[in-house]
Every structure is written in C-alpha cells, then in structure tokens.
A and B are shown apart, each in its own frame.
Chain A
Amino acid sequence: MGALLEVEDLTVWLATRRGPRMAVDGLSFQVGSGEIFGIAGESGSGKTMTAMALLGLLPHAARTSGKAVFEGRDLLSMSARQLRAVRGRRIAMVSQDPSTSLHPMLSIETQLTEHMRHHLGLGRSEARGRAVELLATVRIPDPEQALGAHAAQFSGGMRQRIAIAVALACEPRLLLADEPTTALDVTVQAGILRLLHRLRAERELAVVVITHDLGVLSAVADRICVMYGGRTAEVGPRENVLTRPRHPYTRGLLDALPHPEGGAAALRPIPGSPPSLGEVPEGCPFHPRCGYAVPDCRTERPAPVLVEPGHASACPPDPLGGIA
C-alpha cells in the first residue's frame, strides 16, 4: 500500500539578506494513513519549515525542490489555488499557539462552520450540528454554549482543543501539529496527546507531530524522525529510536533529559549549540558536537542507511551499532 504522504528529497531555501540559505536539506520520509509520525530536533533544525513547505505557507521568496506526494499529487508543484483547496480540506494544521490559529473576534461557531459550509457545501443547521459533535469529540464541556463564545473565554488547553476541532472540521486525512502542546501544562498536554491518539484510531487520521520533546513522541508516535541541520539524523519505529538510538545526536538528546528515576547525577548536555541558518558544517552536520567523530565526518556527507528493518541512521561510523 502506498503511503498517504511521501516526502522525497525536500529542500527549502529561505531568502535572507545574504541570499538564499538552506533550512531543509534533502529530507525524505513517509507517513501512512492512521499513523502518528513524530519529527524531533533542537530549535532551528527545520521542523517548522518542513511543515510550512507541505502547506505552501513558507515565508515570502522561499524556494523548494523535491517532491511531497499526498494522495497521489505533488504538493510542491501545485498552484496556489490548488493548494488552498487541499489546505484545511485534506491537510489541516495546528500550531503551538492556539491564539494564532483561532480568530479573536469571530465566534467559535463561525470558525468551525465556515470551512464546512465552504468546502463541504453544508447548510447552516447541518454545519452547526456537526460543529457541536466536533466540540464534543475534543471534549469541550457544554458544546452548544461554547459555539457562541469567543476564543479568549477559554483556557489555553481548551483553546488548543478548539483549534483541533477547527482543524478537523472538513475531515482531513492528515493533521500537521507543530509543537501542539509546548505552551501547555503537562496535565493539559496529557489530554491533548490522548485526544490525538484517539482521533487516529477512530478516524484513521494521520498526524505529523512536530516537537522538541522526546517524551511527547514517546507517548504517541508510531515512528520518529530526528532532524539536525535540516536533515534526517535518524528515522525509525518509536521504540527503536528511543531505546536503541543509532545516531549520536539522538543519543545526546536522550542523555540530556533528566533521568527518569531522578537522583543527584548532573544532567548531560550536548556540548556546543545547533548551527544557525546557512552555517551548517560540511560533512556530517553534527560533527563539531559529536564525541565519536572521525576525520571522514568532516568531509563526507552521510545519508540515512538502514541499520535494522525500518530504522535508518545517517552515521557511517555507526559507533552505537555494537552497543546493545
């Protein structure tokens, strides 16, 4: 069976004062129907630009190359008009700050029903009925009353639930969620993660969850892609990537987390910091920070290769390969 979304060799150049600079560099991944696919990495690794490229929402004067085939059609070669028809209808987006995806002045009802009426051609009362159902799906108490309210009247967690309801209004096949819980309390985050998990099961919704928080991906993702400097460092099933990482960068991210059992041991940061736009080093982008680097790492650009079935890592020396 073909994947719902197949991204191949996606490259994104952003316009800067010093000319175009690469923010995403030859990224490839697939997302299956009903799959939760996680993209992780430090800030600036290109996660958001990847999502924006798929939605055709890149900043002004950005350019892309490669392919992103969704339901058989390449999103990157669509016209603005074709993209608008896909966006919101087949692919929807939820961002970190629900106040940016919800309009402050419009009622929740208007925001929920607008797309349904426009894209699905539903009448007013039909759309309203579905809006109530959607709010109930995302567990908003008293959905009827919520329809008449405005975004500001809800807490952050409720707003994010409503933003998800708006995103689901036209029954998209794919939801792009960029840091959907980063601004929320853990107690509220837990509810949103459960919601995403349930929607995928009930609706066969595919979800791309973008986050720097490996704990979040550990809870919901089926597969995880770890990005560094705009490229794939490692990609594979959740359990393999988190319990048997093969890329030193993934290992570093995991080691930097507080130990699950607590204890007085110092935290172990990755030395140095991630490269800024246009300053990604030659060879393996991670080499200046990598404790396993060998001379080749400075010159040879590594590509992800399979290290186990379904699990690829872009680290030819594979120093973690022998470690159980």
Chain B
Amino acid sequence: MSALLEASGVSVDYHRRGAPALRAVDGADLSLARGEILGLVGESGCGKSTLGRAVVGLLPAAGRIRFDGHPIVPLGRRRRAPGMRGLQMVFQDPYASLNPRRWVGDQVGDGYLLGGASRREALRRAGELLERVGLPADAARRYPHEFSGGQRQRIAIARTLAAEPSCIVADEPISALDASAQASVANLLVDLVRELDMGMVFISHDLSVVRQIADRTAVMYLGRVVEAGPTQELWSSPAHPYTRALISAVPRADGAGVLPVELPGDVPDPARPPSGCRFHPRCPLARPECSRDDPPLVVLRDGRSAACVLQNAGEPARPLADSTTHIGKDAT
C-alpha cells in the first residue's frame, strides 16, 4: 500500500539570533496511509509540533516529505501550492485562529469564496459543515465567543474541512478541553477520517486518548521517532524503553490508588543532545555501548520499528526486561 503522507530523514532547524541553530527535529521518519490515524506522542519539547508543521509544509525542512506522491515544498503559510490544499493542519487553540469579529459561517466558508462561490452559497455550505461537526444550523450566524472551547474546536475543524482535505495534521486538537469535550471532539475526528477516507496525524501528549483512537502510534524523543507500530501491540509490548516509560507514567482512574511510575530527568536540550543513544542518560536498561552508539530506527516484524540496541532488524519485537530502578523511594 502506498503511503498518503511519507516523511523520511526529516530535519528542521530553528535559526536563533545570537545562538547556533537549534535542530528541533533530527532525522525523523513517519508514514501515514489513507483512512489511517497515526498518533504522535512524546514529552514536551521533543519536536512533535515542529515535525507536524514540517510535514504540512509550514516549516522549511531537510529530508524527504511526500504527500499523495508529490514532494512537499515549504512555501510558508501564505503561499502554499494549490495541490497542498488537501493537506491541512488543526491547532490546539481554536480561539487564537478564529477572528472574533466575523460570523463563524463566513470564516468557515472562506474556502468556498476563494473557490468562486457567492457569499450566500458559501454561507449555506458552511452551515452544512457546521451541522456535520455537530453544531446547530444557526451557528453560522454567530460569533466565536458565543461558543464553548469544545464547540470552537469543532468550528476550526469545520473550517479545515471546507478545503476538502485528504489528510489532516492535528496538533493537540483536544488538549485544551475538558474530558467530556475531549471525548466528543476525538469521536468527531475519528468519524471524519473513516467517513471521508482521510489520513490523520494526531499529535497529543495524552497517551490514553491516542491509545483509544490511533491505528498506529509513533513515539518521538528529542527530535527523532524512536518507535512506531500498530497501537495495540506497541502498548502491550513496547519495544523501546522510552515508550514503556511513557506508558507506565499514565495514571488510571480505577480507584486503586496506584502511583504512576516516574521517569527521572528531563528531555535534554536539543542544542546539546547526548552522545550515542539520545535516551541513554535516562534509560533504565542502558548498556555501556549506549553512550557511544546511536541506534537507527530499524524495521522489525509485524509493522513495527524501533531505534534501540535491544531490538534487531527483521525480528519480532523483543520484550523488555523488567526495570525496578525507577520505582523510587516514593513508592508505597
């Protein structure tokens, strides 16, 4: 199956005044099929948003990025190539991206106006889209402040749909919402992907939501994808120690009073990445050679891949050994 969106060896530098360039993404790989949801997870600052923006062409990047068979040429926000309309981004804060003084319907219908429709026609079609995302029909003639956070995110999604995208990169689209609103917006995104046979990269720091909705999951650490694979397998038997650390840190609302497992240390400064495996200073399973050898992302069996010396190319993912070193003194 050919990929809808494919990125390999992508690197992104941020140029900073008075300091050397910062490589926020450093050789990351990603691939997404039509009708598929790919979850992209990792700690804050590991480069999820940067990679997301690079693959939709909003940031200049080195490496190979192809959408629907065509190379992505980053042209900046205002001058995107016409073929790129099929690739759209949804952001975390819908309020920031909506104009407070224009009717919601006009903002959603902008895309149709550009396509030559009359204002009335654009407004009518915007109304249809707003209903599709679960808002009342009269929403088109109201202003953004009249809606809750979850509803505003629906408006932003409706506006994205006006471009009739075949692929959406959603950066923390539900992170600013309450649990219940999160659930309904997540359901909406899943329905849209299935119904319109789109692809979606779903960037989130909430692993439990990703586990529930993503077909495949990619885990980023310090500018790289360190593990990727079918979501259920990746969760039940993580191949990379970092993946396991992330999973064990998620608290469960089961009433059992179990303290989640801490991963000590911070994500290192991307300007000064550690030698060898970038995770080695925090890795409970690190071996001596890990501070020297930088493991590439290799393809294992069953659609999985991982960048860790403990895994071998072409073989099934090996279960990770127990590590109790991080059940610190705080454990009960």
Q: Which residues in A have their C-beta under 8 angstroms from that of B257?
A: 218-220, 238-239
A/B interface sample: 25 pairs, CB < 8 A: A42-B180, A43-B149, A156-B44, A157-B266, A185-B44, A186-B207, A186-B249, A187-B245, A187-B246, A189-B260, A190-B259, A190-B261, A194-B328, A197-B330, A197-B332, A218-B252, A219-B259, A242-B255, A256-B179, A257-B208, A262-B231, A266-B190, A267-B183, A269-B182, A269-B187
Q: A42-B178, A187-B246 are in contact. Are A258 and B184 (CB under 8 A)?
A: no
Q: Which residues in A have their C-beta under 8 angstroms from that of B332?
A: 197
Q: Does A243 contact B (CB under 8 A)?
A: yes
What DSSP secondary structure best describes chain B's contact surface?
A: loop
Q: Which of A186, A189, A241, A242 has the most CB of B within 10 A?
A: A186
Whether A242 pairs with B184 at a CB distance below 8 angstroms is no
Q: A187-B43, A218-B256, A238-B257 are in contact. Are A194 and B250 (CB under 8 A)?
A: no
Whether A242 pairs with B254 at a CB distance below 8 angstroms is yes
Whether B251 pairs with A193 at a CB distance below 8 angstroms is yes
* Interface size in chain A (residues, C-beta < 8 A): 51
- Please provide the chain B residues from 119 to 157 with a CB less than 8 Å away from any CB of chain A in the complex: 148-151
Q: Which residue of A has the minimal Cβ distance to B205?
A: A185
Whether B249 pairs with A190 at a CB distance below 8 angstroms is yes
A155 to B43 alpha-carbon distance, docked (Å): 12
Q: Does B110 contact A (CB under 8 A)?
A: no
Q: Which residues in A have their C-beta under 8 angstroms from that of B267?
A: 155
Whether B187 pairs with A215 at a CB distance below 8 angstroms is no
A253 to B266 alpha-carbon distance, docked (Å): 32
Q: A212-B179, A269-B187, A273-B150 are in contact. Are A190 and B263 (CB under 8 A)?
A: yes
- Please provide the chain A residues from 165 to 212 with a CB less than 8 Å away from any CB of chain B in the complex: 185-191, 193-195, 197-198, 212
Q: Top 8 nearest A-B pairs by Cβ distance?
A: A242-B255, A194-B330, A267-B183, A269-B184, A215-B251, A269-B183, A187-B263, A214-B253
Q: Does A92 contact B (CB under 8 A)?
A: no
Query: A138: shortest Cβ distance to chain B, in Å?
Result: 11
- Please provide the chain A residues from 247 to 305 with a CB less than 8 Å away from any CB of chain B in the complex: 252-254, 256-260, 262-263, 265-270, 273-274
Query: Residues 181-203 of chain B: 1 if any A CB is under 8 Å from the residue's CB, otherwise 0?
Result: 11110110010000000000000
Q: Does A108 contact B (CB under 8 A)?
A: no
Q: Does B95 contact A (CB under 8 A)?
A: no
Q: Does B232 contact A (CB under 8 A)?
A: yes
Q: Does B76 contact A (CB under 8 A)?
A: no
Q: Does B235 contact A (CB under 8 A)?
A: yes
Bin the interface of chain B by size.
35 or more
- Contact residues of A with B, CB < 8 Å? 42-43, 155-158, 185-191, 193-195, 197-198, 212-220, 238-243, 252-254, 256-260, 262-263, 265-270, 273-274
Whether B262 pairs with A218 at a CB distance below 8 angstroms is no
Whether A252 pairs with B180 at a CB distance below 8 angstroms is yes
Whether B255 pairs with A238 at a CB distance below 8 angstroms is yes
Whether B260 pairs with A190 at a CB distance below 8 angstroms is yes
Q: Which residues in B have their C-beta under 8 angstroms from that of A190?
A: 249, 251, 259-263
- Please provide the chain B residues from 258 to 299 with a CB less than 8 Å away from any CB of chain A in the complex: 258-264, 266-267
Q: Does B23 contact A (CB under 8 A)?
A: no
Whether B330 pairs with A195 at a CB distance below 8 angstroms is yes
Whether A253 pairs with B260 at a CB distance below 8 angstroms is no
Q: Which residues in B have their C-beta under 8 angstroms from that of A267?
A: 182-184, 186-187, 209, 212-213
Q: Does B85 contact A (CB under 8 A)?
A: no
Q: Which residues in A have their C-beta under 8 angstroms from that of B186?
A: 267
Query: B120: shortest Cβ distance to chain A, in Å?
Result: 31
Q: A187-B262, A197-B259, A218-B254 are in contact. Are A43 and B178 (CB under 8 A)?
A: yes
Q: Does B64 contact A (CB under 8 A)?
A: no
Q: Which residues in B have their C-beta under 8 angstroms from that of A242?
A: 253-255
Query: A227: shortest Cβ distance to chain B, in Å?
Result: 13
Q: Which residue of B has the minimal Cβ distance to A193?
A: B259
Query: A192: shortest Cβ distance to chain B, in Å?
Result: 9
Q: Does B66 contact A (CB under 8 A)?
A: no
A242 to B255 alpha-carbon distance, docked (Å): 5
Whether B245 pairs with A269 at a CB distance below 8 angstroms is no
Query: B111: shortest Cβ distance to chain A, in Å?
Result: 27
A266 to B207 alpha-carbon distance, docked (Å): 16
Q: Which residues in B have their C-beta under 8 angstroms from that of A239?
A: 255-257
Whether B253 pairs with A186 at a CB distance below 8 angstroms is no
Q: Which of B231, B232, B261, B266 has the most CB of A within 10 A?
A: B266
A241 to B257 alpha-carbon distance, docked (Å): 12
Q: Which residues in B have their C-beta under 8 angstroms from that of A266?
A: 187, 190
Q: A191-B264, A198-B330, A258-B211 are in contact. Are A253 and B179 (CB under 8 A)?
A: yes
Q: Which residues in A have their C-beta under 8 angstroms from that of B329?
A: 198
Whether A215 pairs with B259 at a CB distance below 8 angstroms is no
Query: A145: shortest Cβ distance to chain B, in Å?
Result: 16
Whether A218 pairs with B255 at a CB distance below 8 angstroms is yes
Whether B260 pairs with A193 at a CB distance below 8 angstroms is yes
Q: Which residue of B has the minimal Cβ distance to A192?
A: B262
Query: A12: shortest Cβ distance to chain B, in Å?
Result: 21
Contact of B249 among A42, A187, A258 (CB under 8 A): A187
A249 to B272 alpha-carbon distance, docked (Å): 48
Q: Which residue of A has the minimal Cβ distance to B236?
A: A262
Whether B260 pairs with A186 at a CB distance below 8 angstroms is yes
Whether B266 pairs with A155 at a CB distance below 8 angstroms is yes
Whether A273 pairs with B181 at a CB distance below 8 angstroms is yes
Q: Which residue of A has the minimal Cβ distance to B248?
A: A190
A168 to B109 alpha-carbon distance, docked (Å): 54
Q: Which residue of B has the minimal Cβ distance to A224?
A: B255
Whether A259 pairs with B212 at a CB distance below 8 angstroms is yes
Whether A158 pairs with B180 at a CB distance below 8 angstroms is no
Query: B8: shortest Cβ distance to chain A, in Å?
Result: 27
Whether A215 pairs with B44 at a CB distance below 8 angstroms is no
Q: Which residue of A has the minimal Cβ distance to B46?
A: A185
A218 to B37 alpha-carbon distance, docked (Å): 29
